[in-house]
Structure 1
Amino acid sequence: MSLDSARAHLSIAETGKRAALRGDHTTALGHYREAMHLAVSSGAPEVFFRHYLEATMESLELMNDFGSVIEYCERAVEHYREHPPAHPVAWLDLASIHQRHGCVLLKQGDVGPARVAFEQAIDIAARAPAHLPLAEALGGWLRRGLFVSPERMLAEQRRYRYFCVRPETVEQDPGTP
């Protein structure tokens, strides 16, 4: 991977993140797709692809495209079923996938399956060892029979920094002071 190709996919992804922060998730998705393609074709380390995929899932979730996010989560869980996590980072990745699955299920109103997904996320994260405070909070509320509105859910996601695309994590446009 050349320095130029690394700069290119990083720049494209950051442009997508700025679009996402503006709420323009359709544009963001196009940039993430292009950044993923360039990262893979240039032989960039897998961490770049995975980060761009995470940003993609966030935009899809924020667009309420829950079906696409659920499909991704189910495929990723199946992948780990066939190829069990071999190290703590992989366990945490699997736990995060269950957490995302739970969040999207809850946003759809599927409370029972969401509670199960949060419990799985918490149990799997412990193998890392790690904690997923969002899954712990939402799972606890659901176990107690509390209603979680979409607005409350989004507020908790932001409070626990569930989203990786946040103003403090995105480089400002080089043309902006």
Structure 2
Amino acid sequence: MGYEDNAGYVKMLKAKEDRKFMSMYYNAIISTKRFSNALTKGIVNSGKVRQQEYEDIIFGAWNDYLVESGRALPSEKVIADKEGLRREAFDILSKLDGIEFNVIDPVKNVGAVKFEDVFYEVSLTKHKKPAVQELEVANKLNSYIEEFAEKLSEHHSLIRIKNNAVTVDDDGSQTTVNFTRKKTKLF
């Protein structure tokens, strides 16, 4: 019987993996601008019930670790990335001036924007193949789309900006935030 079969040795290897993850997790969090701002200015409560200061960063580090360690497939990470982008997009929209924003279906992850008495349904689409090949920017953009795209571009590379869609490109993988005009009141 070799030492590899010893239960204590197996536990030690597992602890080493967990320690590696915790170190990566810790470094990913403390290296963010949001963390350093929280240290100097404190955490500002937005008043929102579902405020999630570090959730995207934490789950991003967790997903990277799972893929690197072989515990998850890259396709599972893609699903998690879409969820993170949805949370970020909804958070940006909820803070914009000049519009009203509500999540109208938390199960299907659908939101709604009211801009100048017109309602738009907000949803995300993860593209299997790139939807846009080169940069597209519409000539006349609604003011909230301009502001939304500007804030989204702080963390993501945008490849399409139109009044009905903003597409994020992440190394060839594309996700679109869709704004679909509706004739009925959504909220």
- TM-score in same-fold range (> 0.5): no
Q: TM-score, normalised by structure 1?
A: 0.31
Higher RCO (C-alpha under 8 Å, 6+ residues apart) = 1
